[in-house]
Amino acid sequence: MSTWRRAAAQWLAWVVAAAVVLQLFFVLRIALMAWWNPASTSFERSQLWQHWQPTANTLAWRQQWVDYDQIAPAVKQAVLTAEDDTFTEHSGVQWQAIEKAWQRNQKAQAQAANSQRTPRVYGGSTITQQLAKNLLLSGERSLLRKGQELALTHALELLLDKCRILELYLNHAEWGRGIFGVQAAAQHYFGKSAHQLTRSEAARLAVMLPNPRYYESRPASPYLQARARTIAARMAGTAIP
């Protein structure tokens, strides 16, 4: 029995040590991002296989980094209005928003069960949480991954300022199949640079964020157009860092 206990203790020690090393690795990467522009994120790398075109031997991928001051203020306002309108005020996590999203998802699942339709999933994540998930984590859904996301969210808020967090988010957000970052989105949808986007164009891109591939294939969606008008009317009151 003592041998078994020693083996179990050693195994547990290795697990704890591995977890600590992993957290230090994450923290170091986040600290480096204060001045280092990451070329890709964990989410983007997981999508690579979907964008490979074997017949042409090319990768259907568009992305180009642009600095914070080269992104139109309208884009920042629109995205924050649509996704996280208290971004400049909170410390990374909005617990009330998470609870509200959970309640709405429970209601949606109940309604879907009665109508035999796929339930709509509502999110309560802040911009910082979305960045933490896309930068360093896999797309799986579990309590362990959610806990890791929250830890990385706090690290991002501690080590980076709000401007940098938003800059990283806008340069790596998905806006369609193989379209990553606001510069690629501006060029793909409007044929212009990110700093030239108008309020209405910025609002339209912001509304696409929760489901970009869906709206890429449905540019005339009535919801997309109506929601974009709503965001454009509200965005003047949204503070940006």
* Domain containing residue 217: CATH number: 1.10.3810.10
Q: Is residue 40 part of a domain?
A: no
Q: Is residue 227 part of a domain?
A: yes
Domain span including residue 175 = 45-86+162-237
Dihedral angle over CA of 173, 174, 180, 181, nearest 10: -30
Instruction: Identify the pLDDT of residue 4.
Output: 77
Instruction: Identify the pLDDT of residue 120.
Output: 47
Instruction: Identify the pLDDT of residue 53.
Output: 60
> Over the chain, what is the mean pLDDT?
85
User: Considering only 104-113, 128-137, 145-154, which range has the smallest mean pLDDT?
Assistant: 104-113
Instruction: Identify the pLDDT of residue 102.
Output: 55
Helices (H) and strands (E) in the chain, counts: 11, 2
Instruction: Identify the pLDDT of residue 121.
Output: 45
Give CA–CA dist 210/147, Å, rounded.
22
Q: Is residue 27 part of a domain?
A: no
Q: Is residue 13 part of a domain?
A: no
Looking up tokens 């700093």 gives 195
Q: What letter would DSSP give residue 62?
A: B
pTM of the predicted structure, to 2 decimals: 0.85
Q: Is residue 191 part of a domain?
A: yes
Q: Is residue 4 part of a domain?
A: no
Domain count, the chain: 1
Are 78 and 232 in contact, with CB atoms under 8 Å apart? yes
Length of the chain: 241
Q: Is residue 61 part of a domain?
A: yes
Q: Is residue 146 part of a domain?
A: no
Q: Are strands 52-53 and 58-59 parallel, antiparallel or unpaired?
A: antiparallel
* DSSP code per residue over 163-208: HHHHHHHHHH-B-STTBBSHHHHHHHHHSS-GGG--HHHHHHHHHH
